[in-house]
Amino acid sequence: MNAFKIIVLAKQVPDTRNVGKDAMKADGTVNRAVLPAIFNPEDLHALEQALRIKDQFPESIITLLTMGPVRAAEILREGFYRGADDGILLTDRAFAGSDTLATSYSLSCAIKKIKDFDIIICGRQAIDGDTAQVGPQVAEKLHIPQITYCEEIQAIDKKKITVKRRLERGVEVVECALPVLITVNNSAPHCRPRNAKRLMKFKHATTMSKHQETGGDYLATENANTHLSIKEWGISNIDCEHAQLGLAGSPTKVKKVDNIVFQSKESKRIDDFDEDISLLMKELIDSHIIG
């Protein structure tokens, strides 16, 4: 029987869709503390595609890989609740300040350590940067083909995968031999909800550092309940060149960040009384701006 080894790349992101008024501090910087951290939406679409392969071929194994601070383990648990088999948190101070290229390099080193895979699936882009670069860059670093903008994996066997892509102006169906990296669009189906049994089973899954922090007996945990631990890898766990990591490994630098001060226009302010709106509309029609 066919079974596939699938790696899903995911990112924990601040929920920029729910930016409230207190999201900006008085000095114009972002107040990250008030923004909830979520599973990047398109990465959930990617997980769903992986789960659908597993539905069809139950022996398949889905490994969720994320890079971020220790609290990013939250999204690995979220992935467990929905059906992922394994979770790896790539975390190290040395990764701080990574741009897309340094991020892709670090992820590709972790994937080389996982070694055995047929398909890598990730979201097209993350909502905090919208760059859509990490997927293709990871594929390039691993020297495997990429299929971007996937809406549906239509068929898969050991020889090849058939993917429907959603483009700006139409659709394209492509096929490719494995291994391959696929980035999934937001037009793909939403991820299934959490499974109650899995939620009970994995809700205490933690990383080793978190476990030690809370004073747990990590030896006992490690031996008795392996499903309760999330793998935590730092730079000592992967084979990588330190010069290519983090800020130093990032060719792009932020030169400056400006707050926007718009040139205030002389704006005409009116209320929503009938007469006021009628006068405005009359003015617009008379000056041929509308009509």
| Contacts (CB under 8 A) with other proteins, residues 7-46 | 14, 16-17, 19, 23-24, 28-30
The region of 46-54, 109-117, 210-218, 281-289 touching other proteins under the rule CB under 8 A is 281-289
270 binds other proteins (CB under 8 A): yes
Which residue number, 47 or 182, has a Cβ lying nearer to other proteins? 182
250 binds other proteins (CB under 8 A): yes
268 binds other proteins (CB under 8 A): yes
Contact yes or no for 165/175 (Cβ under 8 A)? no
Report the alpha-carbon distance of residue 119 to residue 4 in Å, rounded.
8
Lookup: tokens for 53: 């392969």
Q: Pick from 180, 104, 189, 110: which is nearest to 148 by CA?
A: 180
Which backbone phi and psi does 153 adopt, to 5 degrees?
-90, 110
Contact yes or no for 46/123 (Cβ under 8 A)? yes
Report the alpha-carbon distance of residue 171 to residue 149 in Å, rounded.
10
The region of 47-55, 87-95, 235-243, 249-257 touching other proteins under the rule CB under 8 A is 249-257
281 binds other proteins (CB under 8 A): yes
Report the alpha-carbon distance of residue 230 to residue 236 in Å, rounded.
17
* Dmax (CA) of the chain: 81
From the list 139, 214, 225, 239, which residue makes contact with other proteins (rule: CB under 8 A)?
Answer: 139
Report the alpha-carbon distance of residue 179 to residue 74 in Å, rounded.
28
How many other C-beta atoms lie within 10 A of the C-beta of residue 286?
9
From the list 33, 219, 224, 254, which residue makes contact with other proteins (rule: CB under 8 A)?
Answer: 254
Q: According to CB under 8 A, which residues from 57 to 76 bind other proteins?
A: none
Lookup: tokens for 192: 């299934």
Q: According to CB under 8 A, which residues from 180 to 209 bind other proteins?
A: 180
End-to-end Cα separation, the chain, in angstroms: 67
The region of 52-60, 123-131, 193-201, 207-215 touching other proteins under the rule CB under 8 A is 123-131
Distance of closest approach, residue 288 Cβ to other proteins, in angstroms: 9
From the list 68, 83, 135, 246, which residue makes contact with other proteins (rule: CB under 8 A)?
Answer: 135
Distance of closest approach, residue 22 Cβ to other proteins, in angstroms: 12
Distance of closest approach, residue 225 Cβ to other proteins, in angstroms: 38
